[in-house]
C-alpha cells in the first residue's frame, strides 16, 4: 500500500519521480503527487486518479534536481487532491511523504493547532510536516530525529526542506524504506521496483533508523544519533522482469511464468540421488529438524491458502501435526508457543504488516521462526531465524499467482525433507522428487487450456456470485480460486469444503449461482461427485475442473475443464491454473482493471 520515491542528483527530478511512481502503481493507490525543489521554492503537484493524470499536469520543462513522490492509498481522509501526498508545513518550505499510520495524530494535531499551525488536509501525515517545522532550527536530520520521537504507529517517511536543496532525510519504523546508490545521484523508495531502471545497488533500512541523502553519499544513524554502517547489496532482478512483454496484463504474464518460476524455486533444492530436499537457508541441523513436533504456518491472503495446502501435506507425508494461522488473528490472540514447534511466516513481499507483526510477537515469546518470501532483503527475510527465498521473480499484478505456486514449491520441498527423516522410504521420496521435477511440463499442459477457459468466462459472465468447492488438499485451492475471482472481477465468490455444502451453503444454490468443483482423481473423488449431484438436483449450474478422460464428471457437469492426471498431492499445482485463468478472463469480460483492482494493494503494509 502506498509508495514512496525520492531523488537527488544532477538530472531533472520530475521525470525520474514520475517513472518511479509508475513502477509503484501495482502496490495500489488512489492519488499521487510529487514535490520538486526549485530556485524559488518547493513545487508540489498532486492529483487523485492514476499516474497518467498526474503526469498530464506536470510541466515538461525541467524545474529542479531533487524531489520526492508518493502514491496514496487512503486511510485517513477521503480521496481528494488535498489529501494526496506530499504534504507541506505552514511555510511551504518543508515537504513530507509517508507510508503507514500515525496512531496519535489527533493528539499531535490538537497541540499544533493550539500553537497556531494551519492544516490543509484530513490526513495523519500532515502532522509530520508541522512537527518538523515546529522543531527545525537549521538541521533537517536532527529535526526529523526529534520529530519521530513524538510519533506512535508505523511509518516510512522522506522529508525535504527548501533551505537544504540537495538533502533528503528518511526515517523508518515498520514500513519499508530502501536507498538506491549510483554515481553522483541517490534514490530512496519504499520498493526497489521504483529505482530498478537506474540502479541495482541498494541499502535496506531497519526500523528505528534515519538516513540522510545527498547526491554525493549517505549517512545512516538511529533515533538516538548512533552512526550505523550498512553494506550495499545488489538486486538480482532484471529490468525486463518489470515489463509486460507481449502480454496484455502483468497478471496473465505471471500466470504463464509459473512453469519457469517453480523451476527456479526447485533449482538446487531437490536431490534425486538421496530422494530428499535441501534448504540451506533454514539454518537448522538435521538433528534440530528431527526434534520438531509441530509446524505452524502464519500468513495472510493467498499466502495463507498456500500454508493451508502445506498443512495437509505435512501431516499426510511427514506425519507432523501442522496448521495454518491467519497472521492478523494470531498476533492478537496471545498465542501459546509450544515446545519444539517451528513457525513459518509466509509473505510474497516480505513486508506484509500483519505477518511482520505476528513474527515479532512470536519472536518475543521465544518461538523459532523461519520465513518464506520472494523479496531478497525484505524485513521478514532479515528478522527471521532463517528461511527460504521462493525466487519467483517480480510479481507486479496485485492479485498473486506465481508467488502462490512458488510458495507451495518451498513448502513441498520442506515437507519432503521432513518426511524422509521420518517415515518416508527412499523409493517414495524419489518418486515425489520426480513428480516435483515434472511440474513445469504438467503446468504447461494446464496452461494450454487458456482458450477454453476464455470461452467459459464469456458464458458465465452473467453470474454475480460463485461457489468454489474442493476436498482435502484441494479445499484451500478452492478458497484461493474464490479469492482470485473476487479480487479482480468484483464478483462475490466463496470457497468451501465440498462436504460442507450441506451444512448451509446449499441454501445459496440456484440457476444463476454457478458452483465450481475441483474433482481430482484421488481418494475423495466419489465424495465430490456426490456433492455435485446434490447441486444438480437443485437446478444449480456446475463447472468442473477434472482429470482428462473422466467421463462420469463430464456427464454431470454443465461445463468441464480438464487437467493432466498427477499424483494426489500434486493436484494443487494443476488445479490452481484454470482457476487463475478463469478469474482473469472473467475480469476481462467485465472490463475490470486486472492488474490494479479497486481498493486493493500489492504490499499491505498497514493493519
Residue 86, preceding bond cis, omega within 30 degrees? Answer: yes
Could you count the other beta carbons within 10 Å of the beta carbon of residue 496?
22
Active-site residue identified among 2, 8, 35, 373? 2
Bridge-based pairing of strands 465-470 and 492-497 is parallel
| Whether 514 contacts 460, CB under 8 Å | yes
| Whether 324 contacts 304, CB under 8 Å | yes
Cα separation, 118 vs 91, whole angstroms: 10
**Residue labelled with grid coordinates 454443465:** 558
Strand partners, 218: 213
Q: Three-state SS across 536-556?
A: HHCCCCEEEEEECCCHHHHHH
Element (H, E) at 61: none
Nearest CA among 169, 165, 168, 131 for reference residue 150: 131
| Whether 205 contacts 177, CB under 8 Å | yes
* E-state strands within 217-320: 217-222, 227-228, 233-234, 270-271, 276-277, 294-299
Q: Quick check: is 90 catalytic? A: no
Task: Record the cell numbers describing residue 7, joined without a space.
Answer: 531523488
Active-site residue identified among 109, 253, 541, 602? 602
Q: Three-state SS across 82-131?
A: CCCCCEECCCCCEEEEEEEEECCHHHHHHHHHHCCCCCCCCCCCHHHHHH
End-to-end Cα separation, the chain, in angstroms: 11
CA atoms within 13 A on the CB side of 291: 9
Could you count the other beta carbons within 10 Å of the beta carbon of residue 435?
16
Nearest CA among 120, 122, 137, 2 for reference residue 147: 137
Task: Record the cell numbers describing residue 483, joined without a space.
Answer: 479469492
Cα separation, 500 vs 504, whole angstroms: 7
Cα separation, 190 vs 99, whole angstroms: 8
Known catalytic residues? 2, 602
Amino acid at each position: 500500500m502506498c509508495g514512496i520515491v525520492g531523488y537527488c542528483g544532477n538530472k531533472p527530478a520530475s521525470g525520474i519521480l514520475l517513472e518511479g511512481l509508475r513502477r509503484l502503481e501495482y502496490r495500489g493507490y488512489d492519488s499521487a503527487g510529487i514535490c520538486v525543489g526549485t530556485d524559488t521554492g518547493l513545487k508540489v503537484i498532486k492529483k487523485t486518479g492514476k499516474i497518467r493524470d498526474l503526469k498530464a499536469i506536470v510541466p515538461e520543462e525541467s524545474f529542479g534536481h531533487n524531489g520526492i513522490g508518493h502514491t496514496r492509498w487512503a486511510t485517513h481522509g477521503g480521496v481528494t487532491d488535498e489529501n494526496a501526498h506530499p504534504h507541506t508545513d505552514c511555510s511551504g518550505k518543508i515537504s513530507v511523504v509517508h507510508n503507514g499510520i500515525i496512531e496519535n495524530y489527533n493528539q499531535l494535531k490538537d497541540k499544533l493547532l493550539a500553537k497556531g499551525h494551519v492544516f490543509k488536509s484530513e490526513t495523519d501525515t500532515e502532522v509530520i510536516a508541522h512537527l518538523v517545522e515546529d522543531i527545525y532550527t537549521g538541521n533537517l536530520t536532527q529535526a526529523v530525529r526529534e520529530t519521530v520521537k513524538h510519533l506512535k504507529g508505523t511509518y516510512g517517511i522522506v522529508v525535504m526542506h527548501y533551505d537544504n536543496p540537495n538533502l533528503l532525510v528518511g526515517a523508518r519504523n515498520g514500513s519499508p524504506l530502501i536507498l538506491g546508490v549510483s554515481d553522483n545521484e541517490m534514490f530512496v523508495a519504499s520498493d526497489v521496483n521504483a529505482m530498478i531502471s537506474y540502479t541495482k545497488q541498494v541499502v535496506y533500512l531497519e526500523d528505528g533508523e534515519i538516513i540522510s541523502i545527498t547526491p554525493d553519499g549517505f549517512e545512516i544513524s538511529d533515533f538516538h544519533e548512533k552512526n550505523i554502517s550498512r553494506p550495499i547489496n545488489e538486486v538480482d532482478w532484471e529490468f525486463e522482469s518489470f515489463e509486460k512483454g507481449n502480454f496484455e496484463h502483468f497478471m496473465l504474464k505471471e500466470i504463464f511464468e509459473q512453469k519457469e518460476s517453480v523451476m527456479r524455486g526447485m533449482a538446487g533444492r531437490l536431490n534425486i540421488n538421496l530422494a530428499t530436499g535441501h534448504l540451506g537457508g533454514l539454518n537448522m541441523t538435521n538433528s534440530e529438524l528431527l526434534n520438531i513436533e509441530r509446524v505452524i504456518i502464519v500468513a495472510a491472503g493467498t499466502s495463507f491458502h498456500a500454508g493451508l495446502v502445506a498443512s495437509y501435506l505435512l501431516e499426510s507425508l511427514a506425519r507432523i501435526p501442522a496448521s495454518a494461522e491467519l497472521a492478523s488473528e494470531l498476533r492478537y490472540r496471545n498465542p501459546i508457543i509450544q515446545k519444539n514447534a517451528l513457525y513459518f511466516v509466509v509473505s510474497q513481499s516480505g513486508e506484509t504488516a500483519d505477518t511482520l507483526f505476528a513474527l515479532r510477537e512470536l519472536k518475543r515469546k521465544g518461538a523459532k521462526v523461519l520465513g518464506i518470501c520472494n523479496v531478497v532483503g525484505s524485513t521478514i527475510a532479515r528478522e527471521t531465524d532463517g528461511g527460504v527465498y521462493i525466487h519467483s521473480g517480480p510479481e507486479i499484478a496485485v492479485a498473486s499467482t506465481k508467488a502462490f505456486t512458488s510458495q507451495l514449491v518451498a513448502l513441498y520441498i520442506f515437507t519432503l525433507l521432513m518426511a524422509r527423516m521420518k517415515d518416508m522410504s527412499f523409493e517414495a521420496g524419489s518418486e515425489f522428487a520426480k513428480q516435483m521435477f515434472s511440474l513445469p511440463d504438467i503446468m504447461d499442459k494446464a496452461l494450454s487450456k487458456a482458450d477454453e477457459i476464455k470461452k467459459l468466462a464469456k458464458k458465465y459472465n452473467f453470474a454475480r456470485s460463485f461457489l468454489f468447492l474442493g476436498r482435502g488438499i484441494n479445499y484451500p485451492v478452492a478458497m484461493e480460486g474464490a479469492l482470485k475471482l473476487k479480487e479482480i472481477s468484483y464478483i462475490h465468490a466463496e470457497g468451501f469444503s465440498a462436504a460442507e455444502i450441506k451444512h448451509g451453503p446449499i441454501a445459496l444454490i440456484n440457476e444463476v449461482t454457478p458452483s465450481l468443483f475441483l474433482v481430482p482423481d484421488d481418494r475423495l473423488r466419489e465424495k465430490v461427485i456426490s456433492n455435485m449431484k446434490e447441486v444438480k438436483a437443485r437446478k444449480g449450474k456446475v463447472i468442473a475442473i477434472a482429470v482428462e478422460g473422466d467421463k462420469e464428471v463430464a456427464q454431470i457437469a454443465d461445463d468441464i475443464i480438464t487437467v493432466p492426471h498427477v499424483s494426489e498431492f500434486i493436484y494443487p499445482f494443476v488445479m490452481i491454473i484454470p482457476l487463475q485463468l478463469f478469474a482473469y478472463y472473467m475480469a476481462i469480460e467485465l472490463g475490470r482493471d486486472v492488474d490494479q483492482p479497486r481498493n486493493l494493494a500489492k504490499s499491505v503494509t498497514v493493519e
